[in-house]
Amino acid sequence: MSSIRETWEKRAKANQYDLAGVLFRNLSIKANKAIHNWHWWIVKQILLPRIPSGGRLLDLGGGYGRLGSLVSRERPDIELVGQDLALSYCRLYRDVTPCVQGSMFSLPFAEASFDGVLAITCLMYGQHQVFEALKGIHLVMKPGGVLLALDPGKEMQQVISFVRRRKSESPTGGIGFRLAEYISACQRAGFRIVSTGGNPFLSMALLMPGVAASSKQKVEALLAWVSRRDQFESGYSALALHRWMLGVKESAATAFIG
């Protein structure tokens, strides 16, 4: 068993449906909820409107179905398929929908069989082979299909590790990507980038002394306020801890709006 898989099997067993298992272990529940709400906003507003009724959506590295369960409630007309490296997470995900255990590097799906792929903090575990993973994802998508990928930014990870005096890599073996390398890996794999974003406002707020670990009501209000800024103002910046992009597998002209 790979060491990344072992780590995730242990995490899944220890954390089950806990947000801290798939988000940040050292953040307060309020801070993780703010990140979770922002992730869901992107999925709901940016990805789901592009998935046709009756379409198939793959939740790659979907964990226990944190976002998948919301997708299936919001869009019961979509056929959602889960996938994760950790069997323990797949078992939890199966409460929502079928979930296949395996690696993003060898997807057991037919070519051109998905209208969309959701990859939230998953490609980061592809580490320096992320391009290989993206090529496999591209293969299982239909022309015109959309990929929503969200991963940590390397620049902000380094700032945080400097401030907090700890390693910049994630404890579960993931890495962050630099601004240009994330987009370029996606483009080289055959995706046209149509939209991008990030959470620089929330990232800066979490760096303020006492905020990340606080469970105070006023901190919750602050995090909700900054997250709204991240929704409506372009945030694909070096200051964002999490950055996302929406890529389309097609050659038809599509405007870049991010």
Residues that bind ligand SAM (CB under 6 A): 4, 8, 22, 61-63, 66-67, 84-86, 89, 103-104, 120-122, 125
Pick between residue 143 and residue 171 the one whose CB is nearest to ligand SAM: 171
Task: State which residue, 10 or 166, has the beta carbon closest to ligand SAM.
Answer: 10
Least distance (Å) from ligand SAM to the CB of residue 217?
26
Distance CA 250, CA 252 (A): 6
Single-letter amino acid, residue 143: P
Residue 190: CB minimum distance to ligand SAM, A: 20
Q: Which of 206, 229, 243 is nearest to 120 (CA)?
A: 243
3-state secondary structure the chain: CCHHHHHHHHHHHHHCCCHHHHCCCCCCHHHHHHHHHHHHHHHHHHHHHHCCCCCEEEECCCCCCCCHHHHHHHCCCCEEEEEECCHHHHHHHCCCCCEEECCCCCCCCCCCCEEEEEEECCHHHHHHHHHHHHHHHHHHEEEEEEEEEEEEEHHHHHHHHHHHCCCCCCCCCCCCECHHHHHHHHHHCCCEEEEEEECHHHHHHHHCCCCCCCCCHHHHHHHHHHHHHHHHCCCCCCCCCEEEEEEECCCCCCCCCC
Contact 227, 203 (CB under 8 A): no
Closest CB to ligand SAM among residues 62, 247? 62
- Pick the closer one to ligand SAM by CB: 124 or 194: 124
Q: Least Å distance between CB 84 and ligand SAM?
A: 5
Least separation in angstroms between residue 197's CB and ligand SAM is: 16
Whole-number minimum distance, CB 208 to ligand SAM, in Å? 24
Instruction: Tell me the closest approach of the beta carbon of residue 98 to ligand SAM, in angstroms.
Output: 15
Q: Report CA 90 to chain centroid distance, whole Å.
A: 17
Between 24 and 113, CB nearer to ligand SAM = 24
* Cβ proximity to ligand SAM, 8 vs 182, nearer residue: 8
- Give 23 or 222: the residue with its C-beta nearer to ligand SAM: 23
- What minimum distance in Å lies between the beta carbon of 85 and ligand SAM? 3
